[in-house]
Structure 1
Amino acid sequence: MLQTVTGSIDEQAAGRILVHEHVMVGFVGDGKLKPSDYDNEEVIASILPLLLKLKESGCSTFVDCAPQYLGRDPYILKALAEQSGMHIITNTGLYKSPYLPAYAYEADEVELAALWIREAKDGIGDSGVYPGFIKIALNDGTAINDTQEKILRAAIRTSQETGLPIQCHTIGGDTALHADEIMKQADFARERFIWVHAQTCTDLTIHRKLAEAGMWISIDSILPGTYEKHAGLLRQLIEHGAGDRILLSQDTGWYTVGEEGGGTLNPYHRLFTEFIPFAAANGLDAQWLEQCVTRHPFQAMSRRD
């Protein structure tokens, strides 16, 4: 089952899933983004047409990956779900510097995990909304520092306690391998972990190794102008034996806090209306492509008992 902002859904209801997208992002440092920095109704009015167009393309479920202090707002997400008819999934967890609140540096992994476990069990504040996954991040292309390792270990604790999967912003293969070692130490099942932005690694032997360990490989920057490159990457990943662990998304949208009218808003539907037909016409199996946006993300995002 998937936990959405309006309740749990099964695989049939989930249908096609966009596993890594954004409704709103606020790049405000030190965890200081607050609801008074944006207008809820303006955000809803800006994003609703994009979700309705996405629904027309045959997609049913939208995973919003903005963590707390970077744009997560359960009230906006619930209103958008109700008005669009889309299933929307939000998260618990934290991002990375410079978008972390002071307590992220001061608390230990047990204390951080306790906060996220409480949201998973009791809901986010008084919104009545429950998170469907844990969203975290690691340093970009460098060794994992102490703060991000603590956040990763807290996410592992939360997942083990709640059954929620982890989506982790992970740039580069070396960082993914380091995370894998930490999960091994914690005896954590890697099929509960989604390597977000796996397209940033060019050494496909790393994808094969981590896919064999059970990790999900998220190719999530599939935007106009990149279709040929990403179709080629997918062919290579299949050849390297990672085909049954692939997720597809775009990492697009979004209403940017602080920019007039939310800035430039990109549509969500193009993965279905443009890329998948392009990839199928260029030799990728249509049934496999469909699994990458249905069965695979449902398995990756399901909450385990």
Structure 2
Amino acid sequence: MKQINSVTGPIEIDRLGKTLVHEHLRTRAESVAVQFPHLYDADEEYRLAMDQVTAVRDRGIKTIFDPSVMGLDRDVRFMKRVSEDSGVQIIAATGIYTFHYLPTRFKANDIDFMADQFVRDIEVGVQNSEIKAGFLKCATGNQGITPDVEKVIRAVARAHLRTGVPIMTHSVPEKENGLLQIQIFEEEGVDLSKVLIGHCGDTDHLDYLERLLEKGVYIGMDRYGLTSVISTEQRNATLLALIEKGYVNRMFLSQDYCCTSDLLKPESYKKSKYPDWSMTFLLDQVIPTLLAQGVTKEDIHILMTENVKSWLR
């Protein structure tokens, strides 16, 4: 039976259960966190993460994928502590989150050197630990695919081909750059059924989303609660339309929630800017609304439990 690396060790994919595929226990500017650690309160960060993770655990969530990688101050030891203390299985990622440039160490070396580091995270361990990554992450922002971003995407593709672990991306649907990510993956020989194009719920342009889906990728309807981007009602309408078109088995639901984030401090500011945003919003508010609008319980089961297993197989 196939397994995936969690932060506490390998687990069988049939034991993943109900899953949130895109949530962040903590994100920080890693250069700031290293140089000015007094700006951060580790105890508060742990408390905020535990509050959210235990809340979704109590609502039936068994597994959380945390796509925090280099550029977001990934800390797998922090993830492991939260996982052990909450009982929720947490899957860590490897990759690089950048919209512009790479650090000089990666600029000075080739794509395969970068891919080697990702493979090491998956096969040996992250940050000189025995905690192994379970999936790959890359990102494209409003700037499009810069030369350095392209280098990351190709390195992620090559690490995938060497390890078999799936790929998740950050994309900007308004710029339709998920299609550009797919083009690079195709050039590198990636099986697109192992690719999840993230943040696709940020648009209601069905033509673009169907062009992605026709390529065979999964898409993330994964930012519920971020209503300044697009309303919950629009997100639901798009999801319903795609389910009606037969794509229920190619989508994921999540929230991209950040228990702590440098962009949204203090906590009171985050709550005022995004009052609905939390790890529980999807479970408490969105899913009941979707069921009332005609989505079936079986559809929800597929979106929250079955699709992640298919993505990993």
User: If the length of structure 2 is used for normalisation, what is the TM-score?
Assistant: 0.87
Look up the equivalent residue of 1:127 and give its one-letter code: S
Q: Conserved in 2, the CA contact under 8 Å of 1:19 and 1:249?
A: yes
Comparing 167-176 with 253-262, greater Cα deviation is found at 253-262
What do the CA deviations read for 1:5-29 (whole angstroms, capped 9, x no partner)? Answer: 011222442111000011111135x
**Residue 76 (structure 2) aligned to one of 69, 74, 77:** 74
What is the CA-CA distance between 1:204 and the residue it aligns to?
1.8
Look up the equivalent residue of 2:251 and give its one-letter code: I
Look up the equivalent residue of 2:252 and give its one-letter code: L
Q: Tell me which residue corresponds to 2:309.
A: 298
Q: Conserved in 1, the CA contact under 8 Å of 2:52 and 2:259?
A: no
Going from structure 1 to structure 2, the CA distance change for 1:72 and 1:43 (only over 3 Å counts) comes to same
What is the CA-CA distance between 1:46 and the residue it aligns to?
2.3
**Residue 294 (structure 2) aligned to one of 249, 266, 283:** 283
Going from structure 1 to structure 2, the CA distance change for 1:53 and 1:202 (only over 3 Å counts) comes to closer
Q: Tell me which residue corresponds to 2:57.
A: 55
1:34 equivalenced with 2:26 (yes/no): no
Look up the equivalent residue of 1:153 and give its one-letter code: R
Over the matched positions of the two proteins, sequence identity in percent amounts to 26
Look up the equivalent residue of 2:187 and give its one-letter code: Q
Going from structure 1 to structure 2, the CA distance change for 1:119 and 1:210 (only over 3 Å counts) comes to same
Going from structure 1 to structure 2, the CA distance change for 1:158 and 1:228 (only over 3 Å counts) comes to same
User: What pairs up with 1:216-295 in 2 under 5 angstroms?
Assistant: 216-223=218-225, 226-257=231-262, 259=265, 264=270, 267-295=278-306
What is the CA-CA distance between 1:118 and the residue it aligns to?
1.1
Query: Residues of 2 paired with 1:264 and 1:203: CA distance?
Result: 28
Query: Residues of 2 paired with 1:272 and 1:35: CA distance?
Result: 38
What do the CA deviations read for 1:34-75 (whole angstroms, capped 9, x no partner)? Answer: 386234333212211221111011111111121123131011
Query: Residues of 2 paired with 1:214 and 1:18: CA distance?
Result: 21
Taking CA–CA contacts closer than 8 Å with sequence separation of 6 or more, which of the two structures ends up with the larger relative contact order?
A: 1
Look up the equivalent residue of 1:156 and give its one-letter code: A
1:154 equivalenced with 2:155 (yes/no): yes
Q: What is the SS of the residue equivalent to 1:59? A: coil
Look up the equivalent residue of 2:290 and give its one-letter code: A
What is the CA-CA distance between 1:99 and the residue it aligns to?
7.7
What is the CA-CA distance between 1:97 and the residue it aligns to?
3.8
Query: Residues of 2 paired with 1:2 and 1:275: CA distance?
Result: 28
Query: Residues of 2 paired with 1:275 and 1:145: CA distance?
Result: 36
Q: Conserved in 1, the CA contact under 8 Å of 2:138 and 2:169?
A: yes
Look up the equivalent residue of 2:140 and give its one-letter code: L
Query: Residues of 2 paired with 1:129 and 1:40: CA distance?
Result: 20
Aligned Cα RMSD in Å?
2.4
Going from structure 1 to structure 2, the CA distance change for 1:66 and 1:224 (only over 3 Å counts) comes to closer
Q: What is the SS of the residue equivalent to 2:22? A: strand
Q: What is the SS of the residue equivalent to 1:24? A: coil
Look up the equivalent residue of 1:72 and give its one-letter code: R
Q: Tell me which residue corresponds to 1:21.
A: 23
Q: Conserved in 2, the CA contact under 8 Å of 1:16 and 1:61?
A: yes
Structure 2 unaligned residues grouped into runs of 5+: 272-276
Query: Residues of 2 paired with 1:264 and 1:3: CA distance?
Result: 32
User: If the length of structure 1 is used for normalisation, what is the TM-score?
Assistant: 0.89
Going from structure 1 to structure 2, the CA distance change for 1:67 and 1:224 (only over 3 Å counts) comes to closer
Structure 1 unaligned residues grouped into runs of 5+: none
What is the CA-CA distance between 1:224 and the residue it aligns to?
7.6
1:163 equivalenced with 2:164 (yes/no): yes
Q: What is the SS of the residue equivalent to 1:125? A: coil
Q: Conserved in 1, the CA contact under 8 Å of 2:92 and 2:134?
A: yes
Q: Conserved in 2, the CA contact under 8 Å of 1:68 and 1:92?
A: yes
Query: Residues of 2 paired with 1:128 and 1:42: CA distance?
Result: 26
Q: What is the SS of the residue equivalent to 2:219? A: strand
